[in-house]
A = this chain, B = another copy of it.
Amino acid sequence: MARRTGRRPGNPDTREAILGAARAAFAERGFDAASIRSIAQAAGVDPALVHHYFGSKDQLFLAAMNAPLDPGALLPAVLAGAPDGLGERLVRTFLGVWDSPAGAAAVALLRSAVSNEWTARLLREFVVTQVLRRVLDHLDVDPAELPLRGSLVATQLIGLATTRYVLRLEPVASAPPETLVAALAPTVQRYLFGDLG
């Protein structure tokens, strides 16, 4: 039986060259400043080929950092409901991802980000541009407060992931998701909309 190659479009060497250039660009210059054009140039290919292989810049970024999921596909449902339930829906969706088969890849990404500055930058860009930006664009609060509110939410959710899935501190490690949703939702809700003291 012949050895099968990947089903993704394109020459694997070219794909890898583009992904390597993308990782470097996103980590060094950040998501917003890294252009498809400059990534294509660094990889020695035409920008149209990058679009052809990976689609949008968001999708290239997700591929470059081996993201276990696309927040752009998950978040619309979270953001669609009433604002007073947003914290609860965010915590429930977050736990749903980490408790799913995608969770193992998420744990691997978090471990890598904590031990490696390069991956840390990519994860930071992911949290800001793929998750927080989409959530914060949606809030009817003082725009000057949005960055702090977003990063406070990140402290609670990243801490939940680290404690439950990496350090496995009990009883949080084994608690039913709804126990954690009930306990953490008011925290996330306050960071998004409430008084920050």
Contacts and interface: CB of A to CB of B under 8 A. Distances in A.
Interface of A: 110-111, 113-115, 120, 123-124, 127-128, 147-148, 151-152, 154-160, 162-164, 166-173, 175, 179, 181-187, 190-191, 196-197
B196 A124 contact: no
Nearest to A196: B183
A21 B165 CA distance: 27
B183 A120 contact: no
A183 B147 contact: no
A110 B162 CA distance: 10
B175 A186 contact: no
Contacts of A168: 120, 124
Contacts of A164: 155
B159 A147 contact: no
Chain A binding surface SS class: helix
A154 B158 CA distance: 12
Contacts of A197: 181-183, 185-186
B162 A160 contact: no
Contacts of A163: 151, 154-155, 158-159
A185 B195 CA distance: 12
A171 B155 contact: no
Contacts of A111: 114-115
B169 A154 contact: yes
A155 B166 CA distance: 11
B155 A172 contact: yes
